[in-house]
Amino acid sequence: MCLTCGCGDAHRVMGKNLTYEGLREMAVENGQTVDESLSILATTAAKDRGDHQQEYDRPWDTGKS
């Protein structure tokens, strides 16, 4: 999908992106709803950003042009 690429289609399979279905599978495995998983993801990312800001600031080389 494109919960991650920005295309706006949460169910579209495109490369190494996260789909709604993938997120739902992760939520079920963790005994959570999709909304709970999204909230945890945002909270964890905010904490990690605080701990590792330099990683968020760095432009990563993906090998793609």
Domain boundaries defined on the chain: 1-47
Tens digit of pLDDT for each residue in 31-53?
999 999 999 999 999 999 999 99
Are 20 and 1 in contact by the 8 Å Cβ rule? The answer is yes
- Rounded CA separation 60/38 (Å): 24
- Rounded CA separation 28/65 (Å): 36
Mean pLDDT, the chain, rounded, equals: 87
Q: What is the pTM assigned to this prediction?
A: 0.72
Three-state DSSP string of the chain:
CCCCCCCCCCCCCCCCCCCHHHHHHHHHHCCCCHHHHHHHHHHHHHHHHHHCHHHHHCCCCCCCC
